[in-house]
């Protein structure tokens, strides 16, 4: 279960609707399974704002709300709002050098997310794009893990990666995905032009549907007995390979 101390909780049907209407940054909304009378606005406003809705049992809602009168609806607040994809694309358009984007496919651990944001900020990444479903949000734990670097990064949350990656490819971006099941070394990819680095979820890696949209899949050689690196370490290696190539 979630650690309540890491979250600010809003509960009750009307308070959650008002939070959505007023633009309060929300991480996730939890709705009681088969609940009757939940306002349709909860779902429509969440969809518009890219906030994931999770259906769960009463025990989980009672835990999150400290057994308050949640009426079957609980929301966890995020540390800050996400940016829009349009903001990131506008920054790409006006970038003095070829833009570099980092796309995170369902990264769930706040420590990994924060570390990746810290690396992205240090490596001059133009913007970070994450999925809205099954992904970590911009929580206080992420801010701590990023050492505050998240406050300087443009981070957009999108419902689906497919349309975004297709659009970026149409715009001329090279989409480079990290995948251990390839013979192509990460140093062999060309990051000097407009590029997207795509990292997959902890343990599982990139989903097949995302792999299909990459223009190149690359791997980081593993010389020891473990099969893969932590995603934040792997992401850092690839971001700084782009930095190295662009400085030479």
In angstroms and rounded to an integer, the radius of gyration of the C-alpha atoms of the chain is 19
pTM: 0.80
Query: What is the 3-class SS of 165-190, one letter each residue?
Result: HHHHHHCCCEEEEECCCCCCEHHHCC
At 24 the pLDDT is 84
Q: Count of H helices and E strands in the chain?
A: 9, 10
- Which pLDDT band holds residue 81 (cuts at 50, 70, 90)? confident
**133 closest CA partner among 215, 42, 193, 55:** 55
Q: What is the pLDDT of residues 191-236, one digit of tens each?
A: 999 999 999 987 788 999 999 999 999 999 988 887 778 899 999 9
Tell me the CA distances in angstroms from 155 to 13, 182, 210, one per residue in order.
Answer: 28, 29, 19
Q: What six digits make up the tokens of 233?
A: 């370490």
Phi, psi angles (nearest 5°) of residue 175 = -105, 110
3-state secondary structure of 102: strand
Question: What are 15-70's pLDDT values in tens digits?
Answer: 999 989 988 888 889 999 987 888 899 999 988 887 888 899 999 999 998 888 99
Compute CA distances 78 → 103, 110, 185, whole Å.
20, 12, 37
Q: How many CA atoms, within 13 angstroms, populate the side-chain half-sphere of residue 126?
A: 24
Q: What is the pLDDT of residues 113-134, one digit of tens each?
A: 999 999 999 999 999 999 877 7
Question: Taking the chain, what is the end-to-end CA distance rounded to the nearest angstrom?
Answer: 47
Q: Outline where DSSP puts E strands in 16-173.
A: 26-32, 52-56, 73-77, 100-104, 127-131, 155-158
Which of 103, 142, 39, 56 has its CA nearest to residue 238? 103
Q: Which of 193, 230, 232 is nearest to 101 (CA)?
A: 193
Q: Is the pLDDT of residue 1 over 60?
A: no
Instruction: Answer whether residue 2 shows pLDDT above 70.
Output: no
Mean pLDDT of the chain: 90
């Amino acid at each position: 279960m979630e650690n309540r101390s890491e979250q600010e909780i809003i509960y009750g049907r009307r308070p959650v609707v008002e939070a959505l209407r007023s633009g309060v940054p929300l991480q996730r909304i939890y709705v009681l399974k088969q609940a009757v009378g939940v306002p349709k606005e909860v779902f429509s406003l969440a969809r518009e704002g890219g906030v994931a809705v999770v259906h769960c049992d009463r025990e989980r809602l009672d835990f999150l709300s400290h057994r308050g009168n949640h009426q079957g609806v609980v929301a966890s607040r995020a540390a800050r709002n996400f940016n829009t994809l349009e903001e990131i694309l506008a920054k790409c358009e006006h970038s003095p050098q070829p833009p570099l984007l980092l796309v995170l496919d369902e990264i769930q651990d706040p420590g990994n997310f924060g570390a990746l944001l810290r690396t992205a900020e240090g490596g001059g990444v133009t913007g970070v794009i994450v999925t809205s479903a099954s992904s970590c949000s911009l929580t206080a734990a992420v801010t701590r893990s990023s050492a505050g670097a998240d406050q300087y990064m443009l981070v957009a949350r999108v419902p689906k990666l497919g349309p975004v990656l297709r659009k970026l490819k149409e715009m001329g971006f090279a989409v480079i995905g990290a995948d251990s099941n390839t013979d192509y070394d990460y140093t062999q990819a060309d990051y000097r032009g407009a590029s997207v680095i795509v990292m997959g979820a902890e343990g599982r890696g990139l989903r097949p549907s995302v792999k299909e949209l990459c223009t190149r899949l690359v791997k980081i050689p593993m010389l020891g007995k473990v099969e893969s690196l932590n995603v934040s370490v792997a992401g850092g290696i690839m971001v700084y390979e782009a930095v190295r190539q662009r400085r030479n």
